[in-house]
Each structure stands twice: as structure tokens, then as C-alpha cells.
Chain A
Amino acid sequence: MMQLAPYIVLFPLLGFLVNGLFGWKHRNEKLIGIIGSGAVGIPFLIACTIFFQMLGRDESARKLIINLFTWIATSTGSTSSFSVPIAFQIDQLSILMTLIVTGVGFLIHVYSIGYMHGDEGFWRFFAYLNLFIFAMLNLVLADNFLLMFLGWEGVGLCSYLLIGFWYDRKFDVGGYTPGTTYTGDAAKKAFIVNRIGDFGFILGALLIFKQFGSLNFDTVFSGASLLSSDSSTMIWISLLLFVGATGKSAQIPLFVWLPDAMAGPTPVSALIHAATMVTAGVYMVARCSVLYALAPTTMMVVATIGALTAIVAATIGLVQNDIKKVLAYSTVSQLGYMFLALGVGAFTAGIFHVMTHAFFKALLFLGSGAVIHAMHDEQNIQKMGGLNKYMPITSKTFLIGAVAIAGIPPFAGFFSKDEILFKAFTSEHGSMVFWLVGIFGAAMTAFYMFRLVFLTFFGNERFSTKSGDHHHASPHEAPKTMTVPLMILAGLSVVGGFVGIPHLSAIEHWLDPVFSSATIKLMEAEPDGWMLEAALTIISVAIAGAGIYLAKKIYLDDPRAADANATHFAKMYRLLLNKYFVDEAYDSMVVAPIVKTSELFLWKGFDNGVIDGAVNGLGRVIAFCSQWLRRIQTGVAQSYALVFVGGILFILSFLIFS
């Protein structure tokens, strides 16, 4: 059964080709939707059967490498040959990621059938979505760094295509962000910032090749287990790979593209910017756990950046008024938690949080999509309120997602977040500072999520039902194709955490063999006793509850308290609303100088001056010479005869005097 693994990757590619080549012709939404969803649903079924087959096997026999064909086959001399095959690696980690990608992806595809109904580019949307799934599966199933990089770049490309899907639409940016007024600008920003990270990834991969002579995971990781700790090469490799991860997974300093990526359709935000693409960085670091275990310095960097991002993004999310922006910053913040986990050596916890986050974040985004749909593309939560009455299913599932992300037991987010916080406190690579930052971030997470819930679904209705509009008078619940995925995801958000109950953790046992070489290197002492864990758990739950209570007090009980706070802490409020002016800083420090230099030196200096000058100058020289030479054509036959005479004399003299 595991031999069928290549079909997991093949079906989305087929879906992309069929919908892309024929979709624009027949425009049959049902057919396009079925092909697109089936292209992800069938791989999910295959992945499930492979998963159950793996469960039945012994722990050591769960890995399989399937070699399809050779992609690059060059031999550079007898000692080293650089040969890269298209090969897929099925092991516990990759099958888990595959299940997440195809499972959540399938639900989002079904949701999109309802959400994108009536759109002019319906066929294009599903083609791009399938292409994205294809690239993402390549990324998680890859057996070597180059194939993973193919998927890495592919998801970046699809992110660009899908963010800029409504390419002729203007995009409203919160605060002051120069240059982003069209969705195309947001798409370009995403792709360019991604590329900056990819540069780091490429350098890291090149260093790996230099160090280990191969890009194959097995070769590199088994070679790494033999190396000593903290050599500068390992630090550089892991650091450069992490730069790639910061770009892809929106960490400091390359997180600026994710909020603007909300210009794309909501299913895109759910799939790419919540559940799958942004977790590619986390997956990559987890896959290279051995390399990071060998470089404790980098692990400290990873954990620090993760913790910092978690807190900074949470603070920005506190005051945003666009429903999708809040969720975007929440995503950045939760990704920070995942990297915090990876940085303190809790690789399983990080991947566990990837899984639970995929469930509740996709749920939250899809729910917000239903709200946006019902409010006829209004995204400002200050203009919503009281939607619980009109959209009960959406409201309840959204509430479940909010409770899950806040970390209230027994929902999914509680188990994964708690695991991260516990490991941050107890691990030798962690410290109490990390735990404090994490707790503070958790409090803010609960606060801003419930601010969102209360302002959107409860309280007074602040939206106007404009008369004379052709819209409906009041918001309505979403169609079945949209609410059923919401309910499924809500169910997963409730029970999804149970695979990671502490001390019984099924997911820990499942993923252990993958990270075993790394955990051995880290030489973590297993903390004994349950008192500490219980204490920390109680504190985190209490903090989350306090966040919810505070949000209720401000946004539900007394609506004017929020404005009072805003005016009281005006400077802080302005700073947070404008996202710490990071975009403006980048624009003045990086973008503007590059644009000015390009304009001055590359455009006016080189292109206009040198290249155009050379080409035009050549033309001018030829024209000048020809101005001169054309005077030979006098038109008078006698002058031609004179030339004859001259020629004859020349030849005669040549004959006589030679």
C-alpha cells in the first residue's frame, strides 16, 4: 500500500492540469469543484490507508523511501557525484504532515466551492489550489533538500498567484503602509520577502552539500550524528536554513508579508497562511532536528526569535479592526510558539502545535470567511456585532475555535500549547524567561481572540442595513458546503488534542523515532514528577481564563470602555495599530534606497547611458560615415570614369613596380 505514495503527489498535479487546461472552457462549477476537491480527497484517503498500515508495523519498519526517477544526474569526477532523484520519504513525520495538508486541504476545497461561487475565475482558483497542494506535498514528502526546495519555491509561487487572485482589486490596508494599494502589490511583497528567506535556504543547502557531499536527508543526517557539537559550520548551516524558515513562516524579521497576504480570498488565507505553507518552515526545522541539535547557539536564536515574534505579533493583534488581520497576526504569533518549541528541543511539541493550529486556525479563517460573505465583503469588526442571532452555526464553530486557540482544556490548543510552555520552562535549552513570554503571549491570545468573538458575534449590532441596496436586508447563514467543513474542523479542534495528553502522548510515541538522534544529542534530562507540570498547567489555564474575562468586561459588558482605553493609552494604541511602523521602517531603510539606486545607476546610468548609448552611438557612427561616403555617388558618369582611370593606373603601377 505504501507503494501508492507517489499517487498522493500525482493527483493534485492532475487536478491542476485538468482544471487549468479545460476549466475555462466549460466553466461548470460543480465539475471543477469535484475535480479540485477529489484531487485532494483521494490523496487523503491514500495517506490514511498508509497511516493505518504504518500503525500496524513495528516502529523500526515504518520508514520507506520510494525512488521515482533521477532528476539531476551529473558526475563531477570520481570522488563526488551530484545526483538528485525525485524520491519520496514516507516516515512518521511526513505522513503526519501529509494527513494535515490533504485533510485540512480537502475541507478547504469543499468550502471554496461555496465561497467562490459565481466568481469569474472559479476554475483558475481551483487550479491554483491544486498546484499549491502539489507543491506542498512535494515539500513534506521530499527525500532530499533540492526536492524540498522545489516544493518550497512552488508554495511561494502559488501563494503569489493566490494572494493576487483578484488582480484588479484595490486592497484596503490598515494603518499606513506605503506602496500596497493593489492585491498585486501584496502578492509581490509576499513573494519578494519569501525570496529573501529562500536565499538563506539556498546558502544553507549549499553549505550542507559542501560539508556532507550530498543533499539526501538520510546521508546528511546520518553523517551529522557523527559530528561534534557546536562547530561553526553547523551553526552557519542551521542559521541559514532558519533564515529560510523566517521568510516562509513569517517570523521576525520577515513577517511583514503575512498581514498583507490577507488581500487574497479567505480560503487562501485559511489554507496557505494558516494551515500549511507557513508551517513549512516549522516542518523543515523539525526535519533537520539533528542539525539543530548540533548547534545549540542556533537553537537559542530560534527560541528567542520564536518567543519574540509570539509576543510582538500578539500585541499588534490586540488592536486590529480587520477580522482577517487579527487572525493573521494570531497566526504569526502561534508560529512563534512553534519555533519556541523547536528552539528548546521540543520538536514533537512543535509539530503537535502545527497539527492543532491547522485545525483551529483554518476553522477561524473559514468562519471569518462566512462572516465576510454574509456581511457582503465588510471586514471591519467595528461594523459588525450580534451576528450570533443570524449565523448560529458559524458563531458556535468560531467560538469553539477561539476557545481552542486560547488554550482552555479539553480543547486541542490546550494540550499543544501547554506542552510547549512546559518544555520551555523545564528544558535545559529553555528558561523561565521563555515561559514567562509564552504565558504573557497566551494571555494576550485569549484576550484578542475573545475581543474578536465578542465584537463580531455578540453585543449590539453596529452594521447598517442600507435600504435601496440590492443586498439582503440582514446577514444570513452560509450554505452547506461552507458550514459542513466548519463543523468538521470544530470537531477536530475539540478532540484533536487528545493524541497529545501528557505522559500518555500517542503523538510523542509516534514521532519519537524521527527525532531520536536529535534528542540523544541534546541529552535532555527527563523531568520527573507531575507536580511542576500540574502547577504550570493551572497557571496557564488561569491566565487564559483571565484574558477571556478581561475581554468580556471590556467588549461585551461596557462597549465604551474600549474607546476610553484607546484614548487613555493613545501613544501605545497608535504604535500597535500601525504595527510598530515596521513596514515604514523597511520601506525607508531597504526598499527606498534600492529603488533610488536602481533608478539612478541601473536605469539612468547603465540602461539609458551605457546600453542605449552604445546601440544608438553605433547607429550614429554608421550614419556619419555614410554621410561621408555617399558623396562618391555624384551621378555624373565622368567621375565614375575617373575612378576607372585611377584604378587602372593603380594596377599598372602595381604590375610595373612589383
Chain B
Amino acid sequence: MIPLQYYLVLSATMFLIGAAGVVARRNAIIVFLSIELMLNSVNLTLVAFSSFLGDVTGQMLAFFVMTVAAAEAAIGLAIVIALFRRKQTVNLDEINILKW
């Protein structure tokens, strides 16, 4: 069997890549993509532990996470569409009305 640490390291790496994407990318759609990446990395962790510990709770929680991810993606993209209709751009750097 593949040792647990490999899964954990992979999922951590995916999470960090996702976080970096959220913080550093300009395009709003790419930011959402990165958010999905982070959520999926968490899913991977949950499932790995569930298989390792023989407990099904992890897989249950993974279902919840997937549901929430879907709902959140829908709302988030709705916001992006509303934003695009206003500002004609999805470049997050240009959305700074709350700037000092």
C-alpha cells in the first residue's frame, strides 16, 4: 500500500498551490479555480485518513465538502457575472472601490 504521508504531502502541496492562486492571480475565474483546488485537496486528506483509519466519517465529510463547494461555486460565479455587468472586467486588481 501507498503510505499515508504521500497522500498528506500531496494534498498539502495542492492546498498551498491553491492558496497561492487565490492570493496572487488577477482573473476572478482563476481565483475560483484555485478555491476549488483547495477544497479538493481537503477532500483528498479526508478520504486518505478515512481509508487509513478504516472510519467512514471522513468519506461522509467529503460529501459535505463537495456539496458546499458546488453551491459556493454557483453563487461565486453569479457574483462574478454581476460584477462583469457593472465593471466590464474580471480583473480583480481593478475592483478596488473600497480603497482608501
Contact = CB atoms under 8 A, between A and B. Distances in A.
Interface of A: 630-631, 633-638, 641-642, 645
Contacts of B97: 635
Interface string B8-42: 00000000000100111100000100000000000
Interface string B63-100: 00000000000000000000000000000110111111
A635 B99 contact: yes
A88 B81 CA distance: 94
Contacts of A638: 22-25, 31, 92
Contacts of B23: 638, 641-642, 645
A642 B21 CA distance: 11
Contacts of B24: 638
Given A641-B22, A641-B23, A636 B100 contact: no
Given A641-B23, A642-B23, A636 B96 contact: yes
Contacts of B99: 633-636
Which of A631, A634, A638 has the most C-beta atoms of chain B within 10 angstroms of its own C-beta?
A: A638
A258 B23 CA distance: 86
Contact of A636 (B19, B22, B95): B95
A631 B99 CA distance: 8
Contact of B100 (A633, A637, A641, A642): A633
A635 B98 contact: yes
29 contacts: A630-B100, A631-B100, A633-B98, A633-B99, A633-B100, A634-B96, A634-B99, A634-B100, A635-B95, A635-B96, A635-B98, A635-B99, A636-B92, A636-B93, A636-B95, A636-B96, A636-B99, A637-B92, A637-B95, A638-B23, A638-B24, A638-B25, A638-B31, A638-B92, A641-B22, A641-B23, A642-B23, A645-B19, A645-B23
A40 to B, nearest CB: 74
Which of A630, A633, A635, A641 has the most C-beta atoms of chain B within 10 angstroms of its own C-beta?
A: A635
B100 to A, nearest CB: 4
Interface of B: 19, 22-25, 31, 92-93, 95-100
A631 B96 CA distance: 12
Contacts of B19: 645
Contacts of A634: 96, 99-100
Nearest to A627: B100
The 7 closest A-B pairs by CB, nearest first: A635-B99, A635-B96, A635-B98, A630-B100, A633-B100, A642-B23, A636-B96
Contacts of A636: 92-93, 95-96, 99
Given A635-B97, A638-B25, A638-B31, 18 more contacts: A630-B100, A633-B98, A633-B99, A633-B100, A634-B96, A634-B99, A634-B100, A635-B95, A635-B96, A635-B98, A635-B99, A636-B92, A636-B95, A636-B96, A636-B99, A638-B22, A642-B23, A645-B23
B35 to A, nearest CB: 10
A270 B22 CA distance: 94
A647 to B, nearest CB: 13
Contacts of A642: 23
Nearest to B97: A635
Nearest to A629: B100
A472 B25 CA distance: 101
Nearest to A642: B23
Nearest to A649: B19
A269 to B, nearest CB: 70
A257 B100 CA distance: 64
Nearest to A639: B23
A636 B92 CA distance: 7
Contacts of B96: 634-636
A623 B66 CA distance: 48
A222 to B, nearest CB: 81
A630 B98 CA distance: 11
Nearest to A648: B19
Contacts of B100: 630-631, 633-635
A634 B92 CA distance: 12
B77 to A, nearest CB: 15
Contacts of B22: 638, 641
B85 to A, nearest CB: 18
A328 B97 CA distance: 80
A20 B11 CA distance: 91
Contacts of B98: 633, 635
Contacts of A637: 92, 95
A636 B24 CA distance: 11
Contacts of A641: 22-23
A633 B98 CA distance: 7
Contacts of B93: 636
Contacts of A631: 100
Contacts of B95: 635-637
Nearest to A644: B23
Nearest to B98: A635
Contacts of A645: 19, 23
B6 to A, nearest CB: 21
A642 B96 CA distance: 15
Which of B22, B95, B98, B100 has the most C-beta atoms of chain A within 10 angstroms of its own C-beta?
A: B100
A594 to B, nearest CB: 52
A630 B24 CA distance: 22
Contacts of A630: 100
A532 B23 CA distance: 118
Nearest to A646: B23
A647 B25 CA distance: 20
A642 B19 CA distance: 9
Nearest to B24: A638
